[in-house]
Structure 1
Amino acid sequence: MPTQAPEIEPQADITRPTKRRRMIRAEWGVLLIVLVTFLALESVFRFRGEILSKDIAHLNSFEQISRELAEAAQPNELRTLFLGNSLTRYGIDQELFTQIVADDYDLTVKTVKMNPDNTALADWFYAYQTYFKKAGRPPEVMIVGFEGNHLRDAPSNHLDRLAYYYGAGNDPEDLGRFDLKTLEQKISFQLCRVSAAMANRDRLQRRVLDQVIPQYREGMDQLNGRLQIATSASPKVQVSYERLLKFIALAEQDDVQVILVAMPVPEYYEFDSALLEVVSSTSAQLIDCRLIPGLTNEMFFDGLHMDEQASRIYTTALAEKIGLDLKSMPARQFAQFP
């Protein structure tokens, strides 16, 4: 009688767990690479950001600028803050301004400039509030350079940078009222408060696009500037100036004279009637420098910003327009600040 062959038990499939383990290891490897890359970027932006961007270096210097104005000025010098964006950076010649008011009006001034790129009142509001008002180091004169719609109520173009560099997170009421409208914005804002890499992620994007698209950044800067001017000229836009009113009120609490200067740009722009009402109802002054004799469109080297010759012409005109007003405001002696 033939013997029955023993049954062979099927072997367990050992290949599936092995593949699963490999996939898990690969996923963890990717996560580790992402984490290491993020930490490296965080370290660079947090501790060496100035090597990547002049604007980052400027943002990091806000505290120093505030202290310089308060502590380095002599008792007889009028502490004057130029606040604006890259239009102010290129347009104001501080040395020339100081020289003109000294020679023509016998007035000594101490000036500093705070001019982060691509910003407007939405950003300047928090810069003043954090580094001058709350710090107890207000200037005596604040000259705010603007064009088009810079002073209108609108969210900041850079909520991420507001979170990290401007101390805006300490003012939730105004953030909720003017800037943070959606849950996504609120979550992103909180992340940017603690992460320099998150706050500057748009710069990384631009650097990549700079390598792919020739003259990408210059083209986008010009396009953004022209879009702002076109928007400001649109008659359909509903405009308001609630934040400007509060900005001036904060300055008035510290006896700061606010001077709003309409700066020259190639595309002419009109004043909103609502802006004129704000000026007439507050202590702020409005100086019209939209048209300056001697300035030509050829002096705006990229179609928006003034070259050195234009800067000297504009600075001279501004000093002559406000020199007498500055002369009537005696300098106050400040105590030493912490």
Structure 2
Amino acid sequence: MKNLPPVAKALIALLVILLAAETLLRSVEGTLSGNVAHIVEIPELADNLNKSNKPGLLILGNSLTNDGIDASRLQSGLNMQGQADSTIEKIVPDGTTIWSWTCILRNRIYELKNKPDTVLIGFAWGQLADQSRLLPTSLGGFFCSYKDLIHITEQATMNSAQIGEFVTASTFRLFTHREAIRNKILSILIPHYMTSTQEINRRLRGTNSAASASDTTYRELSLTIEQLKSYGKDIVLMAMPIRNNPYSLDPELLNTVKNKDITLLDYRNLDFITDDLFTDEMHLTKAGSALLTARLVDDLAKIRSTPH
């Protein structure tokens, strides 16, 4: 070390600091935000399904589904309907779309010995389309493997910058959590920073996730349906309600649902889900969630009682 030039010593010191920071961050990342804490617990949630001797129900989606469906009410409601007791788990990370959900299925669910009997996916806008937004940092850092990267590039267009972002996030937690770390710092320095940022993000999510109806495809969804059916499992899609009902269902999605013979529950425009049951443009209050969950109980009971 003594004979090394100053630049080399500085680089070594920087590397040691980065490795120490990386190790520390990996040990405490669950404290960065509620969403990251939920992502960290995904392996545990999958293991709960695997260890259970009861029929499994996996709910996939994002914050719309998280706020919209109450797993405890769903469980008790199904029991009251005389349905078999189930193990219900929700995996609903913020801002996710079909690409995150299918990575979760491939890396956490398909490998289970006891796979869930039913996978319920909540969505809005174009979140099921191949053209839904790709978030390379989240995909690489949280949900997908390097093998998934090959699959995604075969199904969707990723430029070199996006691929580099995916690979970097897969390797370095400091890079993956850069926004969460920034938000933590700015929320301390700037009053109401998080509230304002969340409102902007909510508006952008709705706008950015909608694909043009003329060019939407559903190859990834179709592959997911086929995979789950090959295991003898059911998949149910759930179109989530949004205040003022600002989105339509793509005809190509409806064709996919029909051709693949699966169930789509259309909850976009329910009479009893009124504007006062939303906390913002998209997310239901607890009262709204209770009403929507009660409707889902009835619909799942009908689906389960219908011969396949």
Q: Same fold (TM over 0.5)?
A: yes
Of residues 114, 119, 122, the one that matches 1:145 is 122
- 1:95-244 aligned within 5 A: 95-154=72-131, 156-178=133-155, 181-230=158-207, 238-244=215-221
Of residues 12, 15, 19, the one that matches 1:39 is 19
TM-score of the superposed pair, with normalisation by structure 2: 0.87
Q: Deviations over 1:271-322 (max 9, x none)?
A: 0000000000103210011123332222222332111111101101111122
User: What do you get for the CA RMSD once the two structures are aligned?
Assistant: 2.6
Structure 2: gaps of 5 or more residues: none
Q: C-alpha separation between the residues in 2 aligned to 1:112 and 1:307?
A: 20
Amino acid of the residue matched to residue 164 of structure 2?
Answer: I
Of residues 326, 332, 337, the one that matches 2:304 is 326
Q: C-alpha separation between the residues in 2 aligned to 1:261 and 1:244?
A: 13
TM-score of the superposed pair, with normalisation by structure 1: 0.80
The alpha-carbon deviation at position 53 of structure 1 amounts to 1.6
- Residue 56, structure 1, aligned to residue 33, structure 2: no
Q: C-alpha separation between the residues in 1 aligned to 2:307 and 2:51?
A: 19
Which residue number in structure 1 is paired with residue 266 of structure 2? 288
Which residue number in structure 2 is paired with residue 94 of structure 1? 71
Q: C-alpha separation between the residues in 1 aligned to 2:64 and 2:153?
A: 28
Classify 1:327/1:222 alpha carbon distance in 2 versus 1 (closer, same or farther; 3 Å).
Answer: farther
Identity %: 22
Q: C-alpha separation between the residues in 2 aligned to 1:293 and 1:280?
A: 25
Which residue number in structure 2 is paired with residue 265 of structure 1? 242
Q: C-alpha separation between the residues in 2 aligned to 1:238 and 1:155?
A: 11
* Contact 2:238/2:267, CA 8 A, preserved across alignment: yes
Structure 1: gaps of 5 or more residues: 1-23, 331-338
Of residues 69, 88, 97, the one that matches 2:49 is 69
Which residue number in structure 2 is paired with residue 334 of structure 1? none
The alpha-carbon deviation at position 86 of structure 1 amounts to 1.2
Q: C-alpha separation between the residues in 1 aligned to 2:30 and 2:204?
A: 29
Which residue number in structure 2 is paired with residue 303 of structure 1? 281
Q: C-alpha separation between the residues in 1 aligned to 2:173 and 2:211?
A: 36
Q: C-alpha separation between the residues in 2 aligned to 1:159 and 1:234?
A: 18
* Contact 2:68/2:283, CA 8 A, preserved across alignment: yes
Q: C-alpha separation between the residues in 2 aligned to 1:206 and 1:157?
A: 21
Q: C-alpha separation between the residues in 1 aligned to 2:213 and 2:225?
A: 27
Larger Rg: 1
Classify 1:284/1:198 alpha carbon distance in 2 versus 1 (closer, same or farther; 3 Å).
Answer: same
SS in 1 for 2:81: helix
Amino acid of the residue matched to residue 210 of structure 1?
Answer: S
Q: C-alpha separation between the residues in 1 aligned to 2:208 and 2:181?
A: 28
Which residue number in structure 2 is paired with residue 16 of structure 1? none
Amino acid of the residue matched to residue 22 of structure 2?
Answer: E
Which residue number in structure 2 is paired with residue 15 of structure 1? none
Structure 1 residues 214-223 or 84-93, which shifts more? 214-223
The alpha-carbon deviation at position 251 of structure 1 amounts to 1.2
* Contact 2:32/2:181, CA 8 A, preserved across alignment: no
